[in-house]
Amino acid sequence: GEDVEQSLFLSVREGDSSVINCTYTDSSSTYLYWYKQEPGAGLQLLTYIFSNMDMKQDQRLTVLLNKKDKHLSLRIADTQTGDSAIYFCAESIVGKLIFGQGTELSVKP
Amino acid sequence: DAEITQSPRHKITETGRQVTLACHQTWNHNNMFWYRQDLGHGLRLIHYSYGVQDTNKGEVSDGYSVSRSNTEDLPLTLESAASSQTSVYFCASSEFSASTPGGDEQFFGPGTRLTVL
Protein backbone atom coordinates (compact mmCIF):
# COMPACT_ATOMS: atom_id res chain seq x y z
CA GLY A 1 0.00 0.00 0.00
CA GLU A 2 0.90 3.64 -0.25
CA ASP A 3 2.00 5.29 2.97
CA VAL A 4 4.29 8.20 3.80
CA GLU A 5 5.38 8.78 7.40
CA GLN A 6 6.92 11.80 9.09
CA SER A 7 7.48 12.85 12.66
CA LEU A 8 5.03 15.59 13.66
CA PHE A 9 7.24 18.16 15.41
CA LEU A 10 10.81 19.48 15.36
CA SER A 11 12.21 22.36 17.39
CA VAL A 12 15.61 23.95 16.71
CA ARG A 13 17.50 27.09 17.61
CA GLU A 14 18.14 29.82 15.06
CA GLY A 15 21.42 29.18 13.23
CA ASP A 16 21.36 25.41 13.83
CA SER A 17 20.71 22.83 11.13
CA SER A 18 17.30 21.17 10.89
CA VAL A 19 16.81 17.65 9.61
CA ILE A 20 13.32 16.46 8.72
CA ASN A 21 12.90 12.77 7.98
CA CYS A 22 10.38 10.87 5.92
CA THR A 23 9.78 7.24 5.00
CA TYR A 24 7.74 6.05 2.05
CA THR A 25 6.58 2.68 0.82
CA ASP A 26 6.23 2.72 -2.97
CA SER A 27 9.56 1.98 -4.65
CA SER A 28 8.14 2.91 -8.08
CA SER A 29 7.89 6.62 -7.21
CA THR A 30 9.63 8.66 -9.90
CA TYR A 31 9.93 11.88 -7.94
CA LEU A 32 9.90 12.71 -4.26
CA TYR A 33 8.96 16.19 -3.10
CA TRP A 34 9.28 18.53 -0.19
CA TYR A 35 6.54 21.14 0.21
CA LYS A 36 6.41 24.01 2.71
CA GLN A 37 3.21 25.39 4.23
CA GLU A 38 3.27 28.69 6.06
CA PRO A 39 0.43 29.56 8.47
CA GLY A 40 -2.86 30.22 6.70
CA ALA A 41 -1.45 29.46 3.26
CA GLY A 42 -1.39 26.70 0.70
CA LEU A 43 1.57 24.44 0.00
CA GLN A 44 4.54 25.62 -2.02
CA LEU A 45 7.10 23.36 -3.61
CA LEU A 46 10.41 23.65 -1.80
CA THR A 47 12.49 21.12 -3.70
CA TYR A 48 12.29 17.70 -5.31
CA ILE A 49 14.58 14.81 -6.10
CA PHE A 50 14.48 12.36 -8.97
CA SER A 51 14.43 8.76 -7.81
CA ASN A 52 17.76 7.87 -9.46
CA MET A 53 19.61 10.50 -7.41
CA ASP A 54 21.09 10.09 -3.93
CA MET A 55 21.48 13.73 -3.06
CA LYS A 56 20.42 17.15 -4.23
CA GLN A 57 21.67 20.46 -2.91
CA ASP A 58 19.93 23.79 -3.43
CA GLN A 59 21.42 26.69 -1.46
CA ARG A 60 20.61 25.99 2.23
CA LEU A 61 18.63 22.85 1.40
CA THR A 62 20.06 19.35 1.06
CA VAL A 63 17.88 16.39 0.15
CA LEU A 64 19.14 12.86 0.78
CA LEU A 65 17.46 9.81 -0.68
CA ASN A 66 18.11 6.24 0.45
CA LYS A 67 16.12 4.07 -1.94
CA LYS A 68 17.08 0.83 -0.23
CA ASP A 69 15.55 1.97 3.06
CA LYS A 70 12.89 4.15 1.36
CA HIS A 71 14.07 7.08 3.45
CA LEU A 72 14.07 10.73 2.45
CA SER A 73 15.46 13.63 4.46
CA LEU A 74 15.54 17.40 4.16
CA ARG A 75 18.36 19.32 5.82
CA ILE A 76 18.04 23.08 6.24
CA ALA A 77 21.37 24.73 7.05
CA ASP A 78 21.54 27.88 9.20
CA THR A 79 17.85 27.66 10.07
CA GLN A 80 16.11 31.04 10.38
CA THR A 81 12.89 32.07 12.13
CA GLY A 82 11.37 32.51 8.67
CA ASP A 83 11.80 28.76 8.13
CA SER A 84 9.15 28.07 10.79
CA ALA A 85 6.40 26.22 8.91
CA ILE A 86 4.98 22.78 8.26
CA TYR A 87 7.03 20.65 5.87
CA PHE A 88 5.44 17.85 3.88
CA CYS A 89 7.19 15.11 1.98
CA ALA A 90 5.31 13.49 -0.87
CA GLU A 91 5.85 10.64 -3.29
CA SER A 92 4.60 10.69 -6.84
CA ILE A 93 2.57 7.73 -8.07
CA VAL A 94 1.04 7.90 -11.56
CA GLY A 95 0.54 11.64 -11.46
CA LYS A 96 -0.88 11.64 -7.92
CA LEU A 97 0.96 12.78 -4.83
CA ILE A 98 0.81 10.87 -1.56
CA PHE A 99 1.64 13.19 1.33
CA GLY A 100 3.03 12.54 4.77
CA GLN A 101 1.35 14.02 7.84
CA GLY A 102 3.67 17.04 7.85
CA THR A 103 6.42 18.07 10.28
CA GLU A 104 5.91 21.32 12.13
CA LEU A 105 9.28 23.07 12.40
CA SER A 106 9.60 25.60 15.21
CA VAL A 107 12.68 27.86 15.17
CA LYS A 108 13.55 29.55 18.46
CA PRO A 109 15.64 32.75 18.46
CA ASP B 1 0.81 35.53 -13.91
CA ALA B 2 -0.90 32.16 -13.88
CA GLU B 3 -2.54 31.24 -10.60
CA ILE B 4 -4.98 28.97 -8.85
CA THR B 5 -7.77 30.51 -6.77
CA GLN B 6 -10.33 29.11 -4.38
CA SER B 7 -13.59 30.58 -3.14
CA PRO B 8 -14.90 31.17 -0.63
CA ARG B 9 -11.86 31.34 1.69
CA HIS B 10 -14.06 30.72 4.73
CA LYS B 11 -17.47 29.09 4.94
CA ILE B 12 -19.76 28.18 7.81
CA THR B 13 -22.71 25.94 7.05
CA GLU B 14 -25.19 23.68 8.78
CA THR B 15 -25.42 19.91 8.81
CA GLY B 16 -27.39 18.59 5.86
CA ARG B 17 -26.90 21.56 3.56
CA GLN B 18 -25.32 21.25 0.12
CA VAL B 19 -22.08 23.20 -0.23
CA THR B 20 -19.96 23.88 -3.30
CA LEU B 21 -16.34 25.01 -3.12
CA ALA B 22 -14.89 26.62 -6.23
CA CYS B 23 -11.44 26.09 -7.71
CA HIS B 24 -10.19 28.01 -10.76
CA GLN B 25 -6.75 27.76 -12.37
CA THR B 26 -5.21 29.78 -15.18
CA TRP B 27 -2.19 27.48 -15.69
CA ASN B 28 -4.08 25.59 -18.40
CA HIS B 29 -3.18 22.38 -16.58
CA ASN B 30 -4.96 19.15 -17.44
CA ASN B 31 -4.73 17.68 -13.94
CA MET B 32 -6.67 19.03 -10.96
CA PHE B 33 -6.97 17.69 -7.42
CA TRP B 34 -8.96 18.26 -4.24
CA TYR B 35 -7.47 17.53 -0.81
CA ARG B 36 -8.60 17.97 2.74
CA GLN B 37 -6.15 18.80 5.51
CA ASP B 38 -6.76 17.64 9.07
CA LEU B 39 -4.42 17.59 12.07
CA GLY B 40 -2.44 14.38 12.22
CA HIS B 41 -3.52 13.27 8.74
CA GLY B 42 -1.64 15.60 6.43
CA LEU B 43 -3.34 16.04 3.08
CA ARG B 44 -5.73 13.37 1.88
CA LEU B 45 -6.94 13.14 -1.69
CA ILE B 46 -10.70 13.51 -2.20
CA HIS B 47 -11.17 13.57 -5.98
CA TYR B 48 -9.03 14.27 -9.01
CA SER B 49 -9.36 14.87 -12.72
CA TYR B 50 -6.95 14.29 -15.59
CA GLY B 51 -8.95 16.34 -18.08
CA VAL B 52 -12.35 17.62 -19.18
CA GLN B 53 -15.13 15.12 -18.43
CA ASP B 54 -12.71 12.94 -16.43
CA THR B 55 -13.16 12.50 -12.66
CA ASN B 56 -11.76 9.92 -10.24
CA LYS B 57 -12.24 9.06 -6.59
CA GLY B 58 -9.44 9.54 -4.10
CA GLU B 59 -8.97 7.89 -0.73
CA VAL B 60 -11.67 9.94 1.12
CA SER B 61 -14.32 10.54 -1.55
CA ASP B 62 -17.48 9.52 0.36
CA GLY B 63 -19.89 12.47 0.66
CA TYR B 64 -18.11 14.52 -2.02
CA SER B 65 -18.53 14.92 -5.78
CA VAL B 66 -16.78 16.85 -8.56
CA SER B 67 -17.44 17.65 -12.19
CA ARG B 68 -15.06 18.90 -14.89
CA SER B 69 -16.80 20.76 -17.69
CA ASN B 70 -13.79 22.87 -18.72
CA THR B 71 -10.03 22.97 -18.20
CA GLU B 72 -10.02 25.83 -15.70
CA ASP B 73 -12.55 24.73 -13.05
CA LEU B 74 -13.09 21.78 -10.71
CA PRO B 75 -15.85 22.58 -8.20
CA LEU B 76 -16.15 20.32 -5.15
CA THR B 77 -19.67 19.61 -3.86
CA LEU B 78 -20.62 18.30 -0.44
CA GLU B 79 -24.03 16.77 -1.10
CA SER B 80 -25.20 16.85 2.53
CA ALA B 81 -22.63 18.45 4.81
CA ALA B 82 -21.63 16.58 7.97
CA SER B 83 -19.64 17.75 10.99
CA SER B 84 -16.91 15.27 10.02
CA GLN B 85 -16.36 17.35 6.88
CA THR B 86 -15.19 20.36 8.89
CA SER B 87 -11.70 20.82 7.48
CA VAL B 88 -9.43 22.94 5.34
CA TYR B 89 -9.79 22.13 1.65
CA PHE B 90 -7.04 22.63 -0.91
CA CYS B 91 -7.26 22.54 -4.66
CA ALA B 92 -4.17 21.86 -6.79
CA SER B 93 -3.28 21.54 -10.44
CA SER B 94 -0.43 20.00 -12.42
CA GLU B 95 0.71 19.15 -15.90
CA PHE B 96 2.45 15.82 -15.60
CA SER B 97 5.38 15.31 -17.89
CA ALA B 98 7.99 12.63 -17.41
CA SER B 99 10.47 14.73 -19.40
CA THR B 100 10.00 17.92 -17.40
CA PRO B 101 12.28 18.52 -14.39
CA GLY B 102 10.06 18.22 -11.33
CA GLY B 103 7.75 15.77 -13.08
CA ASP B 104 4.29 16.20 -11.61
CA GLU B 105 4.79 19.22 -9.36
CA GLN B 106 1.41 20.38 -8.10
CA PHE B 107 0.51 24.04 -7.63
CA PHE B 108 -1.80 24.73 -4.71
CA GLY B 109 -4.55 27.24 -4.05
CA PRO B 110 -4.74 29.18 -0.75
CA GLY B 111 -7.36 26.87 0.77
CA THR B 112 -10.96 27.08 1.99
CA ARG B 113 -11.72 26.68 5.68
CA LEU B 114 -15.11 24.96 6.01
CA THR B 115 -16.98 24.64 9.30
CA VAL B 116 -20.07 22.45 9.49
CA LEU B 117 -22.21 23.12 12.57
Residue B102: predicted pLDDT: 64
Which of A33, A41, A99 lies nearest to residue B42, judging by beta carbons? A99
Sheet containing B4-7: give its strands across. Answer: B4-7, B19-25, B76-78, B64-66
Q: Does B111 touch chain A (CB under 8 A)?
A: yes
Tens of pLDDT along B47-73?
999 999 999 999 999 999 999 999 999
Amino acid at the residue B22: A
* Cα B11 to Cα A35, B45, B91, distances in angstroms: 26, 20, 15
Phi-psi region of A15 (alpha: psi -120 to 50; beta: other; left: phi over 0): left
Pair A25, A2: CB distance under 8 Å = yes
Tens of pLDDT along A37-80?
998 889 999 999 988 899 999 999 999 999 999 999 999 999 99
Which residue of B lies nearest to A40 if distances are taken between CA atoms? B110
Contacts of B82 (CB under 8 A, 6+ apart): B15, B63, B116
Q: Cα A9 to the chain's mean position, in Å?
A: 13
Residue A95: predicted pLDDT: 76
Instruction: Enumerate the β-bridge partners of residue A97.
Output: A92
Q: What is the mean pLDDT of chain B?
A: 93
Residue B89: predicted pLDDT: 98
Asked if the Cβ–Cβ distance from B103 to A31 is below 8 Å, we say yes
Residue B33: predicted pLDDT: 96
